[in-house]
Amino acid sequence: MQKSILVFITSLVICSCTLNPSVQNLGDEDLQGFWAEDSVPLQDKLVSYEKYYLKFTCDSFYLNIKNYSKVNLNGGDCYNKNEWQEYVKGTYEVNKDTLHLNGAFVSSTYRFKPQGDCYRFGNFKEEFILKKISADSLELYNTITSISHIIELKEKLSCNKTQNLKK
């Protein structure tokens, strides 16, 4: 009797387990592609500023932040050149007019970045109000810093879930 109960429970557990399907979503069709911020208004007059370079593919984003500063505001040798880059990857979601980016700071190869390395590390969570300027131009208004980034579409991509899952 105990053996048959054990066999029944084991078969129930085995039959109830299934592999998870792909959890990657299609993302927002209008955002798919490479986007770049070519210039920042009054950048010559600013002490520091950032330029955004984004790739949206399916529900993922890859962000290259180019930082410029006339003075070393952060301290440390990493910032002495007054120009540096940071990298972020993660997933995004568009809800009405708001773009939610949820990711982590990574290395220049978009791999894990250890703590103690130069520049920021750890989680990256930002929200932007999306405003369409033209068919291939968007304004991203950061809801935390109140800074706008005007990005231009450089290359349109489409989400091919099977191709992206092989990467």
Within a domain: 99: yes
- Tens of pLDDT, residue by residue over 121-167, are 899 999 999 999 998 999 999 999 899 999 999 999 998 765 444 44
- Tens of pLDDT, residue by residue over 36-74, are 999 998 888 999 899 999 999 999 999 999 999 888 776
- DSSP alpha helices (H): ranges in the chain? 2-16, 161-165
Within a domain: 14: no
Other C-beta atoms lying within 10 Å of the C-beta of residue 142: 14
Within a domain: 128: yes
Q: What is the CATH number of the domain that holds 95?
A: 2.40.128.280
When divided into structural domains, the chain yields a total of 1
Within a domain: 87: yes
The range of the structural domain enclosing residue 126 comes to 25-161
Q: How far apart are CA 114 and CA 101, in angstroms?
A: 21
Within a domain: 30: yes
Confidence of residue 95 (pLDDT cuts 50, 70, 90): very high
pTM of the model: 0.79
